[in-house]
A and B are shown apart, each in its own frame.
Chain A
């Protein structure tokens, strides 16, 4: 049976979607697929079948959701090629979008529709067919305007401005959004658009405001001469921006922040600072925007965007929500990263201290994060150096080598008194607690004869050796040994604590969420079979390997836990000495 007959038969039987799945599942991009689609178009445009009819009925189709997306992709490719009345096409596209639900690809039929609408008078027909007051139709206002702009840009702008000044909120938002996408090749057009957007802003609902400001950003992005107007409007509108506007703008910031001029970034930053902590989606956009700004060498603007948010919200100090931003920071050259850390640690805000701890904790690798600091050129008075050294140790205590890398840098260029204070706290609590890893790191650094702080490091190592020798001389005193019962209880507690931590880690593990879990009780090798894409069984044999990770526990956490805790609290809360 030919494609044509097959299609007609299935159309008649009401099983055209099933045929799409059967014929195009693995042939969407190849010649067979193209030929099949061409036949469909041909049959539809010849009125032999109405290929859009199954689309309009897709809500009640028995195909499963996985198969639906195959069908949706077929329609996406077919739609621009089909002849149809606008309402019929609109109904089909809306049905497809509705069935796709919240899926990320649910907008694909709309894209196809826009391409379809760009042809002939379909754009105007679209605008005529929709109900501006219907929120569901707002997307088609946008699409219609975009399509119209393709052939009649001035008319599209006029239509959009008309919607903008109208009373239908959904259409107003869509129009504003559309204006942002117009080419606006003339300065008059740009001015006209800007004025319309500015005029609409004060009375706009929150969603529309978001689109209006986004449109201004887009215009300015494409036409830098509009930056001042855009910035003025953003700043003026900032007080009225609510959750939806902030969300819209966060999208703009995320996608194009790095291309926007500084004055607009500053305006958007002020609006982003109004975000509520409950709006995680918006925060993630802001995080991505921050990350991109860092990546595009706009570090100061990124810090201006993110730092106040961390200060304002305890929840952000873990940097879990701000993972893109923290990742970008960790990619910075060590000296720049050190500057970020210094900036945060010199702030009296404890949230920034916590964020610094999280930032360093987010570094992964075999070696500790090293913060390079050219202390000699660092423009810091001794009081600030002392303050910074304390705060660094206070906040980065559990990352001793990272903390030491910064603190050692502060020694260079410090006055004698300040250097002594810094060296003292480098020894206690840092070195005394982490005599292993940190001791080795300092010893390696002390080998560098050209290092101006080498004498201090040598002295520190000598003090450490004396301290360790004191402990070694005493050794263990058998009479102090906890009883067997106490040891058992403590071991049980440790075991339970580790088990809980492991469970928690597993819950959070991305790796564990994408793999299936098998527990091997015997052997050091696993043999398993799985089905390949061709349906054949494949044997997989895997040799098991062990892995381990060790961390050095701070000595005083066992010997003097209160004092250690108290000292760190004091270090963290330290203020600059009065002059």
Chain B
């Protein structure tokens, strides 16, 4: 186990990756962390500051200056501001004299040289000499290398009573199997389940469990990153976030330090999820969004089904990340159309941050549409349930006025492709989620098979809903005609949370919620929108969900994506009434809203 952890520590790429877990490690050792600098910044050479009892039993102020990997000559002392020695000088010269909180001023100080790996022998003498020269009665130095940190992890956050041997085994297996994400995830889920089944009796115990999940996920992620396959930690990060939300949601509402700590752990998990997302999307996927077929081809399968499944999965993940950004700007209850008028209502002090957030949202919208344009399998859902991903993507696109037309184009293509495929007994969307069924679909060109495979749908009513909301009557009517002509047997429906959902939504254990069935799609009307919005406005169960009550609605969407539930229509309460296009058919974004390219026809693959 120690080897696993040492390897994890040594593989941390950035200093702030170690920063991210160090406070939790110290907290679990009984330290009081009084300073945890924001990501990527430090105070006069100190990354983390804490008060705690050392190995010798003496209570000290611990000042951590953190490096990733091994400490070599470059890391030790160069002109770079990231070098360790200048940081230590800053601590000695400035931090100690001015930044120690008064209540700790009398305590002895230990400056901890912290790095995930080991000291390179070439600089060992210099480091030792530096520490010897600068050691005083008040100030001493300690080397917190990978080996020491591994002990800290094993004796603290992963200590036996928190993570007994069988669970350690699951962690080891999940790490060992990162190249087979299904298996790795299975072990990680067992670990999560074991913890969730026995939640701590006190807030502190539950926090310890949450921190344990966080560090386990980190370990798995870093190993997976080394293996160049972060699929397992990506999926694990969603489940871990949901599991920890379930674990800590009652603690967040308390007005105490426990509440603050709980929020912090959830925030750390969200950040870790984003870090993993970045490793997958920023590094591997988004750079190829504009290249025709690049992502489809990157699946590397000879089965078109695999391409289809992976692409829609990708779209859901991308959209959800965008919605986390929208969340930063939206009111606590749900997403809104983030136009200039709305942005002007936000506090002026946040203007620059918000601008950057909007730019990032627009970038993701652009990438999303580029991916759809260049990978046209995304116009042909094979599972009706892929409406979940499409719903998330529509939600993201709806949040920016410049992207509204992309919804129209995509919705139209989705509807036409699906209806045509149905008509010719092609690969039309079916309700089954079984890979066996999907890979063989259509196994028959008979009406009976087609009927059996399309007994219910969330896709068509959702497309009709958005067409009606966008004022695309022609598309709406086409779906209506198709329903009356060919899908009379099919129950048009969507899903809403109910009173059981709070207990089951995040962990996805039991079936819960309610199906809003019999959604009407009648030619010449907009009855789908009216019907769904009416229910969405009057049904209050969504608002009763803790994630919504506490202003974390993307967690509900994360749960829906992870546990395969449709986007609840309450999420769209503020969007649908505000996305209709102007009478001439075009969305008229307020001035200054970033333009979003529409789903332009793919080029010849060069760009």
A480-B299, A482-B306 known; A489+B435 contact, CB < 8 A: yes
A432 CB to closest chain B CB (Å) equals 7
- Which of A470, A473, A479, A489 touches B231 (beta carbons < 8 Å)? A479
Q: Does A558 contact B (CB under 8 A)?
A: yes
- Which of A427, A473, A559, A562 touches B375 (beta carbons < 8 Å)? A559
CA distance A473 to B289 in the complex (A): 12
Whether A467 lies near B606 (C-beta < 8 A) is yes
- B477-512 with Cβ < 8 A to chain A: none
Whether A483 lies near B180 (C-beta < 8 A) is yes
Whether A475 lies near B298 (C-beta < 8 A) is yes
Whether A474 lies near B291 (C-beta < 8 A) is yes
User: B295 — nearest CB in chain A belongs to which residue?
Assistant: A474
Q: Does A463 contact B (CB under 8 A)?
A: yes
CA distance A561 to B229 in the complex (A): 27
Q: Does A199 contact B (CB under 8 A)?
A: no
Contacts of A561 in B (CB 8 A): 304, 377, 380, 427
- Which of A467, A471, A481 touches B604 (beta carbons < 8 Å)? A467
- B267-302 with Cβ < 8 A to chain A: 280, 284-285, 288, 291-302
CA distance A84 to B234 in the complex (A): 101
User: B374 — nearest CB in chain A belongs to which residue?
Assistant: A470
Q: Does B591 contact A (CB under 8 A)?
A: no
CA distance A560 to B292 in the complex (A): 11
Question: How many chain-A residues does the 8 Å CB contact rule pick out?
Answer: 38
A464 CB to closest chain B CB (Å) equals 9
A471-B293, A473-B291, A562-B379 known; A480+B435 contact, CB < 8 A: no
A491 CB to closest chain B CB (Å) equals 9
Contacts of B455 in A (CB 8 A): none
A549 CB to closest chain B CB (Å) equals 17
User: A471 — nearest CB in chain B belongs to which residue?
Assistant: B297
CA distance A559 to B379 in the complex (A): 12
Contacts of B228 in A (CB 8 A): 478
**Chain B 465-482 interface mask (CB, 8 Å, partner A; 1/0):** 000000000000000000
Whether B298 lies near A557 (C-beta < 8 A) is no
Q: Does A38 contact B (CB under 8 A)?
A: no
A114 CB to closest chain B CB (Å) equals 57
Contacts of B439 in A (CB 8 A): 486, 489-490, 493
A479-B229, A480-B310 known; A470+B294 contact, CB < 8 A: yes
Whether B435 lies near A476 (C-beta < 8 A) is no
**Chain B 293-326 interface mask (CB, 8 Å, partner A; 1/0):** 1111111111111110110001000000000000
Chain B's interface: helix, strand, loop or mixed, by majority? helix
Q: Does B592 contact A (CB under 8 A)?
A: no
**Chain B 220-245 interface mask (CB, 8 Å, partner A; 1/0):** 00000001111100100000000000
Contacts of B606 in A (CB 8 A): 463, 466-467, 470
Q: Does A339 contact B (CB under 8 A)?
A: no
Contacts of B291 in A (CB 8 A): 470-471, 473-474
Whether B181 lies near A483 (C-beta < 8 A) is yes
B596 CB to closest chain A CB (Å) equals 23
Whether A477 lies near B605 (C-beta < 8 A) is no
CA distance A466 to B181 in the complex (A): 33
Whether B417 lies near A553 (C-beta < 8 A) is no
Q: Does A543 contact B (CB under 8 A)?
A: no
A467-B604, A557-B304 known; A484+B435 contact, CB < 8 A: no
- A344-391 with Cβ < 8 A to chain B: none
Whether B440 lies near A493 (C-beta < 8 A) is yes
Contacts of A482 in B (CB 8 A): 299, 301, 303, 306, 309-310
Whether B377 lies near A478 (C-beta < 8 A) is no
Contacts of A475 in B (CB 8 A): 298
Contacts of A474 in B (CB 8 A): 288, 291, 294-295, 297-298
Whether A558 lies near B304 (C-beta < 8 A) is yes
- Which of A473, A489, A559 touches B307 (beta carbons < 8 Å)? A559
Question: How many chain-B residues does the 8 Å CB contact rule pick out?
Answer: 52
CA distance A428 to B435 in the complex (A): 31
Whether B229 lies near A478 (C-beta < 8 A) is yes
Whether A559 lies near B294 (C-beta < 8 A) is no
- A388-428 with Cβ < 8 A to chain B: 427-428
A488 CB to closest chain B CB (Å) equals 10
A466-B604, A558-B304 known; A485+B420 contact, CB < 8 A: no
User: A557 — nearest CB in chain B belongs to which residue?
Assistant: B304
Contacts of A484 in B (CB 8 A): 180, 182-183
A479-B284, A565-B426 known; A471+B294 contact, CB < 8 A: yes
Whether A485 lies near B435 (C-beta < 8 A) is yes
Q: Does A563 contact B (CB under 8 A)?
A: yes
Q: Does A529 contact B (CB under 8 A)?
A: no
B18 CB to closest chain A CB (Å) equals 25
A120 CB to closest chain B CB (Å) equals 70
CA distance A557 to B298 in the complex (A): 15
- Which of A477, A487, A555 touches B298 (beta carbons < 8 Å)? A477
Q: Does A566 contact B (CB under 8 A)?
A: yes
Whether B605 lies near A466 (C-beta < 8 A) is yes
Whether A481 lies near B304 (C-beta < 8 A) is no
CA distance A467 to B294 in the complex (A): 9
A486-B435, A489-B439, A559-B377 known; A481+B303 contact, CB < 8 A: no
- A515-548 with Cβ < 8 A to chain B: none
Whether A490 lies near B303 (C-beta < 8 A) is yes
Contacts of B426 in A (CB 8 A): 562, 565
Contacts of A428 in B (CB 8 A): 604
Contacts of B376 in A (CB 8 A): 560, 562-563
User: A560 — nearest CB in chain B belongs to which residue?
Assistant: B376
Q: Does B343 contact A (CB under 8 A)?
A: no
Contacts of B310 in A (CB 8 A): 480, 482
- Which of A470, A476, A553 touches B302 (beta carbons < 8 Å)? A553
Q: Does B421 contact A (CB under 8 A)?
A: yes
Contacts of B300 in A (CB 8 A): 476-477, 480-481
Whether A562 lies near B604 (C-beta < 8 A) is no
CA distance A494 to B305 in the complex (A): 13
Whether A559 lies near B301 (C-beta < 8 A) is no
Contacts of B227 in A (CB 8 A): 478
A408 CB to closest chain B CB (Å) equals 18
B477 CB to closest chain A CB (Å) equals 22
A353 CB to closest chain B CB (Å) equals 17
CA distance A490 to B305 in the complex (A): 9
Whether A562 lies near B303 (C-beta < 8 A) is no
Whether A562 lies near B377 (C-beta < 8 A) is yes
A470-B292, A489-B436, A562-B377 known; A427+B298 contact, CB < 8 A: no
B227 CB to closest chain A CB (Å) equals 8
Whether B301 lies near A463 (C-beta < 8 A) is no
CA distance A484 to B426 in the complex (A): 27
CA distance A482 to B183 in the complex (A): 13
A278 CB to closest chain B CB (Å) equals 25
CA distance A494 to B292 in the complex (A): 27
A472 CB to closest chain B CB (Å) equals 9
**Chain A 485-507 interface mask (CB, 8 Å, partner B; 1/0):** 11101100110000000000000
Whether A479 lies near B234 (C-beta < 8 A) is yes
- Which of A477, A481, A493, A560 touches B284 (beta carbons < 8 Å)? A477
Whether A560 lies near B377 (C-beta < 8 A) is yes
User: A486 — nearest CB in chain B belongs to which residue?
Assistant: B435
A167 CB to closest chain B CB (Å) equals 55
A308 CB to closest chain B CB (Å) equals 28
Whether A467 lies near B180 (C-beta < 8 A) is no
Contacts of B284 in A (CB 8 A): 477, 479
CA distance A467 to B606 in the complex (A): 6
Pairs A-B, 6 closest by C-beta atoms: A467-B605, A562-B380, A478-B229, A479-B231, A474-B294, A470-B291
A-B residue pairs in contact (CB < 8 Å), sample of 7: A467-B605, A479-B234, A480-B298, A487-B301, A494-B302, A560-B293, A563-B376
B residues sitting closer than 8 Å to A (CB atoms) are 179-183, 227-231, 234, 280, 284-285, 288, 291-307, 309-310, 314, 375-377, 379-380, 417, 420-421, 426-427, 435-436, 439-440, 604-606
A residues sitting closer than 8 Å to B (CB atoms) are 427-428, 432, 463, 466-467, 470-471, 473-487, 489-490, 493-494, 553, 555, 557-563, 565-566
